[in-house]
Structure 1
């Protein structure tokens, strides 16, 4: 890959995840402080990510893979997204805001697959080349968080009281506008399927991979993947409002520690796979969720702020040792015939169904566990998902057998 193309792909990844990190991290706090949203209303807004994940395969399978170049669709989706970001910026009503954010997520979630498609199309050896491109996405997310906290101070106490968090939508919208136009300069990525080929909904949703559920261990992993997404949703929905109310300074910037951790543990993941196998690796990821939430439940933003920082830093283990490890396991079990379908099915099950249920549960818990002054009982808000994560950990540890995966772990990594 020549330097010009590599630079363009790196910029694409940087902007793609800068956009997401610029508004999604602070969304929970914005909804509570600017729009006075309830827990169930906040859950409904966050669940738009899941609806976007459910709709995304149809946009990719019915349009991107059949009729138009991926880079052109990427450009149009981000330009439309920039317009919707502006509408979110000026919206003052939670019902109207929900309409815009739902529309945005339906457009944004497919772009996660499109940027990968554009990148992979330029690579001769993706296993060696992709990581150096994808890491710029993580850097983009980190830069967005640092800018919000340390450059603009929108998430400071004064900034929140002044309503400055709404500026995150302007920042994300500007980046979306830039990426929208920039996308048309990316390398051409033509459709991979002839427009005359017969459309199979089962192929689009990855339903052919349901045959893998006949394998007891894969079925246990599949169910566990859905269940662990319930506590995961609590983090996305409640972490920033909690850290803000706990008094942790520059919470958005400090949450970027999670992405740094994610990068570090991604490099360590192959080592854990080789030494401990899939089962122990994924169990560690599950246990990390329970430990993280216990730290949140008993920490605070003053004398025990180190507990909150450790909880944030555990993100690398929580995410990489479960989700990335799960993707590797799925790849090893599916074989060539169902490889793409299996990954699509797992994504649909986790980011679609699992997190959709998770956001609803998180909203219900936040609404129903209150202190005497009407504020959220954060100890209970975190103890409950910690218990759920621990239950999934025990279920998986007792029922899943690693014997079938041990022989595959070297090839999977």
Structure 2
């Protein structure tokens, strides 16, 4: 098997083992005894927040291990095997408090493998004299395809509301872990400075950027928008599945039966919108592209608020299409903003800080607060959720961020920005 094909398989499985349950865990949770009792929304919000919580510290810790003491491909394989073993335990869990800790442990093992998989691919491609910039993107896109395929398998196998979704992910994670040991060796780089301090290793040097008003404002908006990034991953599938309780549609509705497949349009859209980013950045500049992302989040939530499985199906589908712009435009243009406005000596730390503020702090707060808010304000007496008002409140939140960003964040578009990125 060629190097590129082996890395493509790694990328495919890397996101397959996440996509098998990430979008459907809410459907599983709210259709099981786990959701019985009070504050089910807040408990689920806490469980989902473990993704963000583990992202705050595990990628940095495993990065240090791979940089100093252990081959990256071996560490990657061990993490996936441990992740799979933990997922095997999920079906045995009968209360939400225990599920919180089980998923947290699973995420401690899984989340650092995302950055490790990139690092392994870069190292192997460079060692085999490939043009990384040219060869890596077509390999990485198979990760998104893996995520989509896993969603489809979970849906079509009837596993979206039961624990089989975790078994599917567990089996494939262990196979990926074993496969990782067959990859070319990626030993710790010899060039790592022996005297590099923990602050530099953990990427904490980037915190000095909070002393710059513009960068502090950017990171603050990154955190605020990060609160919205995982909301539809948390609630999108269970929102569509809940139409089965509406007598106008019922459990045999196409949207209810194939909710996960419909949600996968979002990931398909991601792969398309990534290709449009260079055009939008050249034409409109980084600030406007980030603003487009925020307005796309308003549409994403607003279309869900008014969509339904009948005459409103087009709104649900369009919301999934818009997701590609909402998610990609901020993550990628934000990363490029950091790349073009920070000193090279702290650029890696600054990128780590950007990821921490969006996928760490922001996503954690978004998961926790949304769960509490749904319990407190949008759960009816019979336990059903007022999804219309839930999505409208999320849309209002995104709109407020967009307006404040437009008014407060000053950044002049310069055509040279793209040239700087290219070099």
Q: Which residue of 1 aligns with 2:150?
A: 144
Among 42, 67, 70, the residue aligned to 2:69: 67
- Write the distance in 2 (CA, Å) between the matches of 1:46 and 1:409: 36
Separation (CA, whole Å) in 1 of partners of 2:173 and 2:33: 23
1:322 alignment partner in structure 2: 330
1:211 corresponds to which of 208, 213, 219 = 208
Instruction: Confirm whether residue 10 of structure 1 aligns to residue 4 of structure 2.
Output: no
Which SS does the other structure have where 1:300 is aligned?
Answer: coil
Structure 1 window deviating more from structure 2 (344-353 vs 68-77): it is 344-353
- Deviation string, structure 1 residues 112-152 (Cα, Å, up to 9, x no partner): 111011001023432222101101101100111111223x1
Cross-structure match for 1:225: 222
Measured in 1, the distance between the counterparts of 2:195 and 2:290 equals 38
User: Which secondary structure state, in structure 1, belongs to the residue aligned with residue 385 of structure 2?
Assistant: coil
Which stretch shows the higher mean deviation, 88-97 or 322-331?
88-97
Instruction: Indicate whether 1:370 and 2:379 are aligned.
Output: yes
* CA separation of 1:328 and 1:35: change in aligned 2, threshold 3 A: farther
The match for 1:191 among 182, 188, 193 is: 188
Are the structure 2 counterparts of residues 39 and 127 from structure 1 closer, same or farther at C-alpha, using a change threshold of 3 Å?
A: same
Question: Which residue is equivalent to 1:113?
Answer: 115
Q: CA deviation at 1:221?
A: 1.7
Q: Scaled by the length of structure 1, what TM-score is found?
A: 0.93
Moved more, 388-397 or 234-243: 234-243
TM-score scaled by structure 2?
A: 0.91
CA distance in 2, matches of 1:64, 1:387: 43
Please say if residues 227 and 358 of structure 2, whose CA atoms lie closer than 8 Å, have aligned partners that are also in contact: no
| Counterpart Cα distance in 1 of 2:342 and 2:187 | 27
Contact 1:205 1:348 in 2 (8 A): no
Measure how far apart 1:91 and its partner are: 2.0
Find out whether 1:127 has 2:136 as its counterpart. Answer: no
1:52 counterpart = 2:54: yes
Please give the alpha-carbon distance, in whole angstroms, between the structure 1 residues aligned to 2:362 and 2:190. 30
SS in 1 for 2:309: coil
How far has the Cα of 1:405 moved from its partner?
Answer: 5.2
- Deviating beyond 4 angstroms after TM superposition, the runs of 4 or more aligned structure 1 residues are 193-196
Q: Tell me by how many angstroms 1:59 deviates.
A: 2.3
- What's the CA shift string for 1:87-115, capped at 9, x where partnerless? 01332222222221110101111101110
Structure 1 runs not aligned, ≥5 long: none
Match for 1:359 among 349, 359, 367?
A: 367
Q: Establish whether residue 389 from structure 1 lines up as the match of residue 395 from structure 2.
A: no
1:244 paired with 2:249, answer no
Deviation of 1:310 after TM superposition, in Å, equals: 1.1
- Judged with a 3 Å threshold, the aligned counterparts in structure 2 of structure 1 residues 268 and 371 are, in CA distance, closer, same or farther, namely same
Deviation at 1:404, TM superposition (A): 6.2
1:40 maps to which residue? 42
Of stretches 16-25 and 183-192 in structure 1, the one that deviates more from structure 2 is 183-192
Q: Which residue of 2 aligns with 1:154?
A: 159
- Mapped partners of 2:421, 2:404: distance in 1: 24
1:21 corresponds to: 19
User: How much does 1:47 deviate?
Assistant: 0.7
Local SS of the residue matching 1:197? coil
Give CA-to-partner distance per residue, 1:211-245, whole Å, 9 cap, x none: 33344333222111100112223222211111111
Alignment partners' CA distance in 2, 1:120 and 1:99: 33
In 2, the alpha carbon distance for the partners of 1:251 and 1:114 equals 31
* Counterpart-to-counterpart distance in 1, 2:325 and 2:28: 28
How many matched pairs?
402
